[in-house]
Amino acid sequence: MANPKGSVAERELVKMFWETGQWSALRIAGSGRMNFPSPDVLAGNGSQVFAIECKSTKHNIQYIEDDQIQQLHDFAKKFGATPLIAVKFSSKWHFYHPHEMERTAAGKHSIHKEKHADRKKEFIEIVNLD
């Protein structure tokens, strides 16, 4: 995310992981602007690691460039992490596996808040605290 709203959302997500008491997380500043793949957030609990691309929107749909998805996959594979897309729709976080996103005619990936509600995971499901 290359905007102030995005970095605020990334920091919020990092805080959510830490507040579980079981997960650690960090924000990777400058992700997306480096010459090598890197996610926005890395989170782990000693047995599981997530490489997370974060987005924040007030709209019902979020688009992500194909190269961002590919870089997330590349990083996650090399790091031994599970790739995730985290979208904050207004005030609620939704989590998706990248393969659950649809491909647009323009080659972008998209996720729709209502249309793809059956694909989302809640934070509590991601961190297995339920």
Contact between 60 and 70 under an 8 Å Cβ cutoff? The reply is no
Per the DSSP assignment, residues forming a β-bridge with 50 are 43, 82
Q: Identify whether 31 is a catalytic site residue.
A: yes
Token pair belonging to 8:
């605020």
Class of residue 13 by CB neighbours under 10 A (exposed 0-12, middle 13-18, buried 19+):
buried
The type of residue at 90 is S
Q: For residues 15 and 4, what is the distance between their CA atoms, to the nearest angstrom?
A: 17
Q: For residues 12 and 19, what is the distance between their CA atoms, to the nearest angstrom?
A: 10
Which of 7, 24, 31, 110 does the annotation list as catalytic? 31
Residues labelled as active-site residues:
31
